[in-house]
Each structure stands twice: as C-alpha cells, then as structure tokens.
C-alpha cells in the first residue's frame, strides 16, 4: 500500500473508505491482508491513535469494519517511522525553500527521512521493537541524537516516545510474522489468489520517476520482489491503472498540464483532490509518452482505464503523443 504518504479511496457497497496503511483488501472478510517490508513507512501510532478520526483504527470503527486485526499481518522487517522523522521532513522542506527557492512538495509524513535512516543502517524495524526493548531504546536514543545534531531546533520527547512505543509493541505483537516465510508459504501452499497492491505512480519511482520530485521508494513492479521477497518468476499478470487524463499532486514535470478552464474542468468533474494532503491535483491531457515509458519498466499485461466519463462533456479530446527535444522528435522519455 506504500505507507501513509499515499492514499487510496475505495468505495464498496456505497461506503467510502480512505486507506493509507491498510491494503484495500482489508474490506473483504475472506481476505488476509499483509503489510510487507517495503512498507517501511508503517506508523504504529496510526493504528492505535484513537483521537485522530482519520487513523486506520478509528476509521475502521466508524465504518463498521469488524475483526480487521484478525486478518491483518505485518512483516517483522517493516521499518518504523518515528515522530521526529515527520518533523525532519518538514524542516528539510523549509530548508530547500530557503536555499533553492523551491521544495519537493513532500507530504511531510516522514517517508524520505525514514528511508535515509534505512540506507544509513541506523533505522529501526518492527523486529527490533518486539525483541530486546532495552537494545531498541538505546538505538532509538542514538538515532534521535543524530537528528538533533543535524537540526538544533528539533525537539524530541525521547522518554515519552519510548513509553508509547512500548505500549504499541504489545498491541501489534499478535499481528507480526516473518514476512519472507509468510509469502513463501502463501506461494507454495494450497492454491491461492495473491494480489499485490502498490501505491504511488510509476513516475514517482525513486529511480525511474521525475527525480527529484518523486517518492523515496520503488513503486514500479520491481517493488513486488524487493518489498515482499517474492521471486520474479512468481509475478504473474501486471495491471497498470491509468486515468483517461493525467494528474499530479505537487510540483514536478508535467508537459500536458492544462492551466486553464480544461484543467479546472478535469479537476472539478474528476474530484481531483489528494487523499493524503487534500491538495488539488494538477490536471492535463493523457500523456501517452509517460504511459509507454511506464509500460517499458513494468511490462503491463493489461491496462485498467478509469474516469473516461469525466471527458463526456468535451467536444474535443487531446492526447500527448510525442516529445520534442532540441526541436527533434524523440522516441524515449528524457
């Protein structure tokens, strides 16, 4: 699902759900939902902070999802986003704006800083939280001090955070499994239908997207293997999901964007608001160049074309078919 920097709006039987951490399959009482290790943006507090009506737990209470905790499994390899990761995310955006005159437009959910901790090998995972808490506390304090030295204005209630984390640990312990073994059993046991759901778009991939205006993970199909420990030969059909027009939240390249009445119409008719940020989505004509580029990387078996009806009121529909670079038409995404 990608973590709470991304959101999915799902409508089932007339009820609307906004998911950030839960896989959409949590609605189905017959499905087991698994949060893999690629979901390092997993925030324990989101499951149990009842004061926030948008948190997963309270959302389930409000919408009548029953026994969700009995069909949710969390990988022990999932990294944890701490409150100071989120605070640092905001401070870094302020720095970029001051130094470069522009920011990346992150959701300020702490995703980038958490990936930085992971790459620096100072991050902490669910397995750390559930094993030796004294060792976890020591490493947590070291990580917090590292960030405080980089950002002197950063305030961290270390003891208060550790107390909360200890409480969360016992609540989620029954849900945690060895993710690699869980997936191996699922693939090699009795026949099952396995659907892997990704969040964020191909053009937001850290390696293949419109860098640096991207997310911090691989949200292309390779993330199935690296995120779940699934061997490539087990990946079957790959479904790309594309709107009949192109949208983007935040800044970054957008050649077919319509900053005019067409863009306004697509935005209003399509209800194009970011599920996580509430920001208006930028809208424009369908860009076949980036769609083909996404296909080069992902190898789609089929495309699910959505929101075609939003274009019903238009007499003329335009589609981006090629890019020019230096006045010459090019066959690739530059």
Q: Which of 15, 46, 102, 118 is catalytic?
A: 118
Q: Burial of 193 by CB count in 10 Å (0-12 exposed, 13-18 middle, 19+ buried)?
A: exposed
Nearest-angstrom CA–CA distance, 197 and 126: 21
3-state secondary structure of 243: strand
Is the bond preceding residue 212 a cis peptide, omega within 30 degrees? yes
Which one-letter DSSP state was computed for residue 246?
A: E
Contact (CB, 8 A) for 129 and 136: yes
**Backbone region of residue 110 per phi and psi (left: phi > 0; alpha: psi in -120 to 50; beta: other values):** left
Q: Is 118 known to be catalytic?
A: yes
Nearest-angstrom CA–CA distance, 28 and 262: 38
314: enclosing H helix or E strand: none
Q: Angle between the 158-172 and 133-150 helix axes, to the nearest 10 degrees? A: 140
Q: Which residues are catalytic?
A: 118
């Amino acid at each position: 699902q990608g973590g709470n920097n991304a959101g999915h709006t799902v409508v089932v039987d007339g009820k609307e759900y906004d998911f950030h951490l839960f896989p959409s399959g949590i609605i189905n009482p017959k499905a087991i939902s698994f949060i893999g290790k690629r979901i390092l943006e997993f925030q324990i507090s989101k499951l149990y902070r009842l004061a926030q009506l948008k948190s997963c737990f309270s959302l389930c209470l409000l919408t009548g999802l029953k026994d969700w905790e009995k069909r949710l499994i969390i990988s022990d390899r999932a990294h944890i986003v701490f409150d100071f990761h989120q605070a640092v995310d905001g401070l870094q955006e302020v720095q970029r704006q001051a130094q470069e005159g522009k920011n990346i437009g992150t959701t300020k959910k702490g995703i980038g800083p958490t990936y930085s901790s992971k790459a620096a090998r100072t991050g902490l995972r669910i397995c750390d939280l559930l094993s030796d808490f004294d060792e976890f506390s020591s490493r947590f304090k070291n990580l917090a001090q590292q960030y405080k030295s980089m950002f002197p204005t950063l305030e961290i209630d270390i003891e208060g955070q550790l107390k909360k984390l200890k409480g969360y640990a016992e609540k989620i312990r029954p849900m945690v499994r060895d993710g690699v073994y869980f997936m191996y059993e699922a693939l090699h046991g009795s026949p099952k239908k396995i659907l892997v759901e990704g969040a964020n778009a191909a053009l937001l991939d850290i390696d293949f997207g419109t860098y640096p205006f991207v997310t911090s993970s691989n949200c292309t199909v390779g993330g199935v293997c690296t995120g779940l420990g699934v061997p490539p030969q087990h990946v079957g059909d790959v479904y790309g999901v594309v709107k009949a027009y192109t949208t983007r939240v935040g800044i970054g390249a957008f050649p077919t964007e319509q900053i005019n009445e067409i863009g306004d119409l697509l935005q209003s008719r399509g209800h194009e608001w970011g599920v996580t940020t509430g920001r208006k989505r930028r809208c424009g004509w369908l860009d076949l160049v980036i769609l083909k580029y996404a296909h080069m990387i992902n190898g789609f078996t089929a495309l699910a074309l959505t929101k075609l009806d939003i274009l019903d009121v238009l007499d003329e529909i335009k589609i981006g078919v090629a890019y020019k670079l230096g006045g010459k038409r090019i066959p690739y995404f530059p």
